[in-house]
Amino acid sequence: MDTCKILNPTQSEVNSMATKQKLPFIPLTESQQSAFCRTDENLLVKPLAEEFSAVVSWQDIPEKYHHMPGEELSTRISLARQELGEKLVILGHHYQRDEIVQFADFRGDSLKLSQQAAGQEKAEFIVFCGVHFMAETADILSASHQQVILPNITAGCSMADMARTDDVLDCWDDIQQILGDEKIIPITYMNSTAAIKSLCGKNNGIVCTSSNAKAVFEWAFERGNKVIFFPDQHLGRNTGLKLNIPIDQMLVWNPFKPMGGHDDEKIRDARVILWQGHCSVHTRFNVRQIEKARSEHPDINIIVHPECTMDVVEASDLDGSTEFIIDKINNAPPGSKWAVGTEISLVNRLSQENPDKLIFCLDSIVCPCSTMYRTHPAYLLWSLEKLLEGEVINQITVDEETAKYAKLALDRMLHEI
Ligand code: 13P
Ligand code: SF4
**Pocket lined around ligand 2, Cβ cut-off 6 Å:** 95, 131, 157-159, 191, 279-281, 343, 369, 371-372
Condensed to tens digits (0 to 9), the pLDDT of residues 55-87 reads 678 999 999 999 999 999 999 999 999 999 999
What gap in Å lies between CA 93 and CA 105, rounded to an integer? 11
Q: Which atom of ligand 1 is nearest to the CA of 209?
A: 2
Q: What pLDDT is attached to residue 111?
A: 80
Going from the Cα of 12 to the center of ligand 1, the distance in angstroms, rounded, reads 43
**CB 98: neighbour CB atoms within 10 A?**
13
Name the class of domain 283-361: alpha beta
Q: What pLDDT is attached to residue 366?
A: 83
Q: What pLDDT is attached to residue 18?
A: 62
What gap in Å lies between CA 361 and CA 37, rounded to an integer? 14
What gap in Å lies between CA 316 and CA 169, rounded to an integer? 35
Name the class of domain 30-157+372-399: alpha beta
Average pLDDT of the residues in 27-54: 82
What gap in Å lies between CA 158 and CA 279, rounded to an integer? 7
Tell me the best of 107, 109, 208 to mutate to test the pocket of ligand 1, counting ligand atoms within 8 Å of each CB and taking the most.
109
**CB 150: neighbour CB atoms within 10 A?**
29
Going from the Cα of 270 to the center of ligand 2, the distance in angstroms, rounded, reads 27
What gap in Å lies between CA 96 and CA 102, rounded to an integer? 10
Q: What pLDDT is attached to residue 136?
A: 96
Burial class (CB in 10 A: 0-12, 13-18, 19+), 391: exposed
Q: Within the chain, which residue ranges are assigned CATH 3.40.50.10800?
A: 30-157+372-399, 163-277, 283-361
Condensed to tens digits (0 to 9), the pLDDT of residues 240-255 reads 999 999 999 999 999 9
Least confident range from 37-41, 178-182, 240-244, 290-294: namely 37-41
Q: What pLDDT is attached to residue 117?
A: 79
> What's the chain's average pLDDT?
92
Q: Which atom of ligand 1 is nearest to the CA of 131?
A: 8
Cα 165–Cα 323–Cα 347 angle in degrees, nearest 5? 95
Average pLDDT of the residues in 24-33: 79
What gap in Å lies between CA 367 and CA 203, rounded to an integer? 38
The answer, yes or no, to whether residue 14 has pLDDT greater than 60, is no
Average pLDDT of the residues in 409-417: 96
Q: Which CATH architecture has domain 163-277?
A: 3-Layer(aba) Sandwich (3.40)
Query: pLDDT: is 193 or 19 the higher one?
Result: 193
- Whole-prediction pTM: 0.93
**CB 39: neighbour CB atoms within 10 A?**
8
Characterize 40-62 residue by residue with b for buried, 16 or more Cβ atoms within 10 angstroms of its Cβ, and e for exposed: eeebebebbeebeeeebebeebe
Q: What pLDDT is attached to residue 317?
A: 98
Q: What pLDDT is attached to residue 12?
A: 47
CA-nearest residue, atom 2 of ligand 2: 279
Q: CA nearest 359: which of 289, 303, 317, 305?
A: 303
Going from the Cα of 211 to the center of ligand 1, the distance in angstroms, rounded, reads 9
Percentage of the chain exceeding pLDDT 70: 95
The answer, yes or no, to whether residue 2 has pLDDT greater than 60, is no
Average pLDDT of the residues in 357-364: 97
Yes or no: say if 340 and 361 are a contact pair by the CB < 8 Å rule: yes
Q: Where are the beta strands (DSSP E) in 99-234?
A: 106-108, 125-129, 147-149, 184-189, 206-208, 226-230
Condensed to tens digits (0 to 9), the pLDDT of residues 254-307 reads 999 999 999 999 999 999 999 999 999 999 999 999 999 999 999 999 999 999
What gap in Å lies between CA 137 and CA 115, rounded to an integer? 10
Number of alpha carbons in the 13 Å side-chain half-sphere of residue 172: 24
What gap in Å lies between CA 220 and CA 214, rounded to an integer? 10
The answer, yes or no, to whether residue 5 has pLDDT greater than 50, is no
Q: CA nearest 195: which of 132, 281, 271, 121?
A: 132
> Phi and psi dihedrals of 110, rounded to 5?
-65, -30
- The DSSP result for 40-94, as a single string, is S-------HHHHHTTT--PPP--GGGTT--HHHHHHHHHHHHHHHGGGEEEEEET
Yes or no: say if 369 and 44 are a contact pair by the CB < 8 Å rule: no
The answer, yes or no, to whether residue 10 has pLDDT greater than 50, is no
Q: Where does the pLDDT of residue 7 fall: very low under 50, low under 70, confident under 90, or very high at 90 and above?
A: very low
Going from the Cα of 212 to the center of ligand 1, the distance in angstroms, rounded, reads 12
Least confident range from 98-107, 111-120, 350-359, 371-380: namely 111-120
Average pLDDT of the residues in 98-109: 96
Q: Where does the pLDDT of residue 22 fall: very low under 50, low under 70, confident under 90, or very high at 90 and above?
A: confident
Consecutive H or E run containing 341: strand 337-341
Least confident range from 34-38, 93-97, 257-261, 307-311: namely 34-38
Condensed to tens digits (0 to 9), the pLDDT of residues 202-252 reads 999 999 999 999 999 999 999 999 999 999 999 999 999 999 999 999 999
Q: CA nearest 350: which of 360, 337, 336?
A: 360
Least confident range from 23-32, 164-173, 401-410: namely 23-32
- The DSSP result for 274-332, as a single string, is EES---TTGGG--HHHHHHHHHH-TTEEEEE-TTS-HHHHHHSSEE--HHHHHHHHHTS
